Structure 1
């Protein structure tokens, strides 16, 4: 059976895993999770911590955390340049970049998501978290802009799963109204604009927005949790 990716809305970092699956081009299905609502018991079997992305692979095994899922996708797409063979310097560079995106950029912008989820009356708490997010994310954006100087992609000379993950989280700076990326970090903005024109990124936006989505050929549709449950390995 084809893998199933559990993706979160609104604007989850699982966006990057959808992009990577489209680039991979192999059959897969999706299951949508509203991260602002109570999660089902069925989803808890896949992701005990209630986080997305999560994946049930073709053998019924469950996998969580973006880095693990993106490495899984990359390993199946070495011929497409999505990743590199483990043990190579290029693999270490990709692993480092994915780790940086997660531990630094994702974590920094996560403070603004926490502010978004706070009670509307907690003005002081919201302002503190947004200020913290902006300060920390600015440094991460500046560093990544430096990486992209003279380079078309974050790692190597082709798009990889790092670029897929990047576009899923870098967009949060404007989504959460922290930055005007075009004026403040034009190099970052240019890389994002190039990715936004990619059919896989356009597809992932359509999936999130529940508008008509044109797949590169791998997407086989959404699947209900009741259909997934019997496939999950004990």
Structure 2
């Protein structure tokens, strides 16, 4: 079975998993999940009960949710590509430390802004959430700038899963019109370096339903209903 990544649009953090799959050179398919319409449907809850993206259907027919788990699963098969490291090594620990920061601090900083956009009505409540979110986002960028230091990539001299995940979140600054990368010298260079990467360009094109050129193992899109049929057939 070819693994399938169920990715969310618009602006899903699953963007990072698409980039990671491209870098890994593994064979994979993509299935587009509209948020909030499809992701909250009973059909999608069959594969992810809490109605979130991304979800990965592995080559063994198992479902994995949560970006950190998906990225580590991809990385376990892509150590030779240099984007991940063998468990038990110092580099593996450093990678997971950075992924944890990106997941708990960098990603979470945007939560008030997403809530204000999706749920809060106009007025004082929304303004409070937005102000709080912008403060959290600025602090998260300041911390990440310190962690990056003078390195080219988040962990050193080559891109890893951490850089892929970072890019999926970093673009939210433009979406929410918050932290400017012009204020963070190191992160600005990292962001621009990633924007020029073919895998990142591919992921952007995929999200925007434009012509996308894969340099990895992309095996095409599969409609969600067709993916469910494949899953049911495989389980029978």
Q: State the TM-score bracket (shorter-chain normalisation).
A: over 0.9
Unaligned runs of 5+ in 2: none
RMSD of aligned Cα (Å)? 1.5
CA distance in 2, matches of 1:76, 1:112: 35
TM-score, structure 2 as length reference = 0.93
- The structural deviation recorded for 1:110 is 1.8
CA distance in 2, matches of 1:129, 1:185: 24
After the TM superposition, which residues 48-197 of structure 1 pair with which residues of structure 2 at under 5 Å, given as runs? 48-119=49-120, 121-182=121-182, 184-197=183-196
- The structural deviation recorded for 1:90 is 0.9
- The structural deviation recorded for 1:42 is 2.8
CA contact (8 A) 1:55 1:63 kept: yes
CA distance in 2, matches of 1:138, 1:128: 16
Q: Kindly provide the CA deviation profile for residues 159-198 of structure 1, in whole angstroms up to 9, marking residues without a partner as x.
A: 100000001001112210112221x223211110100000
Structure 1 runs of 4+ with >3 Å offset: none
CA contact (8 A) 1:6 1:53 kept: yes
CA distance in 2, matches of 1:166, 1:90: 18
CA contact (8 A) 1:90 1:156 kept: no
- The structural deviation recorded for 1:53 is 0.6
CA contact (8 A) 1:4 1:55 kept: yes
Secondary structure of residue in 1 paired with 2:88:
coil
Mean Cα deviation higher: 220-229 or 163-172: 220-229
TM-score, structure 1 as length reference = 0.94
